[in-house]
Structure 1
Amino acid sequence: MSKREEWLKKDGATFPGKTYVECLLKPVFNYQRDYLFSAMFQVHRAHVLMLCDRGILSKEEAARILDAIERVAALDPAVLRYDPRYEDLFFMMEARLTEEVGPDLAGNMHIARSRNDMGVTMYRLVLREQLLELLDVVMDLRESLLEVIGEHLETVMPAYTHTQPAQPTTLGHYLLAIQDVLGRDTKRVWAAFHTVNQSPMGAAAITTSGFDICRDSVRKYLGFEGIVENSYDAIAGADYLLEVAAAMMVLMTNVGRWIQDLLLFCTREFDAVKVADPYVQISSIMPQKRNPVSVEHSRSIASSAIADAQAVFAMVHNTPFGDIVDTEDDLQPHLYRSIDKALRVLKLMNAVVSTLEVNRERLMRRAREDYITITELADAMVRKKRTSFRIAHRIAGLVVKKAYQRRLELDEVSPELIEEASREVMGNGVPFTEEELKKIWDPNYFIAVRKCLGGPSPGEAARMLRDRRKKLSADRTELQQYKNRIRSAQDRMKERIQQLTATLSS
Structure 2
Amino acid sequence: MIYNKVVLEPAYRQAQAYLLEPMIAIHKAHLIMLHQQGLIDKADAGFIASALLDLNLDRFLNSTYTGEFEDLFFEMEHELLSAAGDTAGNLHIGRSRNDMGIALYRMVLRDKILEVIESALILHKALLAFAAEHVDTIYIALTHTQQAQPTTIAHYISAAAYILERDIKRFKNAYDTCNVSSLGAAALTTSGYPLDRELVAELLGFAGLIENSYDAVSAADYAGEAAAASQLASANAGRFVQDLLQWCTQEFGVLRLADDFVQISSIMPQKRNPVGLEHARSLLSSCIGNAQTVFTLLHNTPYGDIVDTEDDMQPYIWKSLETLSSVYRLLAAIISTASVDRVTVYRRAKNSFATVTELADTLVRIEGLSFRKAHEIVGEVVGYVAKEGHSVRGVTLQALNDASVKAVGRKLRLTEMQLQRALDPEHFVRIRSLRGGPSSQEVMRALKEQALNRQGFEEWHDEKLGAIRSTVLQLDHILVSYLPVV
Q: TM-score range by the shorter chain?
A: over 0.9
Quote the Cα distance in structure 1 between the aligned partners of 2:142 and 2:463.
40
Quote the Cα distance in structure 2 between the aligned partners of 1:428 and 1:203.
83
Deviation at 1:130, TM superposition (A): 1.1
Note the alpha carbon deviations across 1:436-485, whole angstroms, 9 max, x for none.
11111110000011001100010111110111111111111111111222
The residue identity in structure 2 corresponding to 1:235 is V
Q: Could you say which residue in structure 2 is the equivalent of 1:46? A: 29
Note the alpha carbon deviations across 1:235-280, whole angstroms, 9 max, x for none.
1111101001000001000000010001110011211010100111
The residue identity in structure 2 corresponding to 1:478 is W
Q: Could you say which residue in structure 2 is the equivalent of 1:249? A: 231
Q: Which is further off, 420-429 or 342-351?
A: 420-429
Q: Could you say which residue in structure 1 is the equivalent of 2:73? A: 90
For structure 2, list consecutive stretches of 5 or more residues without a partner in the other structure. Answer: none
Quote the Cα distance in structure 1 between the aligned partners of 2:87 and 2:107.
25
Quote the Cα distance in structure 2 between the aligned partners of 1:90 and 1:496.
23
Note the alpha carbon deviations across 1:409-456, whole angstroms, 9 max, x for none.
223322111101111222222232111111111100000110011000
Q: Is the 8 A contact 2:254 2:342 kept in 1?
A: yes
Quote the Cα distance in structure 2 between the aligned partners of 1:369 and 1:221.
65
Deviation at 1:319, TM superposition (A): 0.9
Quote the Cα distance in structure 2 between the aligned partners of 1:290 and 1:387.
51
SS at match of 2:151: strand
The residue identity in structure 2 corresponding to 1:337 is K
- After superposition, the CA RMSD in angstroms is 1.1
Equivalent in 63, 66, 69 of residue 80 of structure 1: 63
Equivalent in 361, 364, 367 of residue 343 of structure 2: 361
For structure 1, list consecutive stretches of 5 or more residues without a partner in the other structure. Answer: 1-17
Quote the Cα distance in structure 1 between the aligned partners of 2:12 and 2:473.
29
Q: Is the 8 A contact 2:136 2:152 kept in 1?
A: yes
SS at match of 1:165: strand
Matched, 1:291 2:267: no
SS at match of 2:351: coil
Deviation at 1:54, TM superposition (A): 0.3
Q: Is the 8 A contact 1:41 1:73 kept in 2?
A: no
Deviation at 1:66, TM superposition (A): 1.4
Matched, 1:458 2:440: yes
The residue identity in structure 2 corresponding to 1:94 is E
Q: Could you say which residue in structure 2 is the equivalent of 1:3? A: none
Equivalent in 50, 53, 58 of residue 67 of structure 1: 50
The residue identity in structure 2 corresponding to 1:442 is D
Q: Could you say which residue in structure 2 is the equivalent of 1:342? A: 324
Deviation at 1:76, TM superposition (A): 4.1
Q: Could you say which residue in structure 1 is the equivalent of 2:261? A: 279
The structure, 1 or 2, with the larger RCO (C-alpha pairs under 8 Å, 6+ apart) is 2
Note the alpha carbon deviations across 1:320-357, whole angstroms, 9 max, x for none.
11111111111111111111111121111111000011
Q: Is the 8 A contact 1:141 1:347 kept in 2?
A: yes
The residue identity in structure 2 corresponding to 1:66 is A
Quote the Cα distance in structure 2 between the aligned partners of 1:73 and 1:214.
29
Quote the Cα distance in structure 2 between the aligned partners of 1:218 and 1:73.
24
User: How many positions carry a matched residue from both structures?
Assistant: 486
Q: Could you say which residue in structure 1 is the equivalent of 2:4? A: 21
TM-score normalised by L of structure 1? 0.94
The residue identity in structure 1 corresponding to 2:293 is A
SS at match of 1:159: strand
Q: Could you say which residue in structure 2 is the equivalent of 1:7? A: none
Which aligned pairs between 1:169-208 and structure 2 lie closer than 5 A? Answer: 169-208=151-190
SS at match of 1:166: strand
Deviation at 1:138, TM superposition (A): 0.2
Quote the Cα distance in structure 2 between the aligned partners of 1:347 and 1:384.
51
SS at match of 2:421: helix
SS at match of 2:376: helix
Matched, 1:428 2:410: yes
Matched, 1:136 2:118: yes
Identity percentage over the alignment?
42
Deviation at 1:73, TM superposition (A): 4.9
Note the alpha carbon deviations across 1:98-148, whole angstroms, 9 max, x for none.
11111x222110000000000000001111111111111000000010101
SS at match of 2:412: coil
Equivalent in 439, 442, 453 of residue 471 of structure 1: 453
TM-score normalised by L of structure 2? 0.98
Quote the Cα distance in structure 2 between the aligned partners of 1:135 and 1:60.
43
SS at match of 1:198: coil
Which aligned pairs between 1:225-264 and structure 2 lie closer than 5 A? Answer: 225-264=207-246
Quote the Cα distance in structure 2 between the aligned partners of 1:227 and 1:401.
66
Quote the Cα distance in structure 1 between the aligned partners of 2:398 and 2:434.
32
Deviation at 1:185, TM superposition (A): 0.3
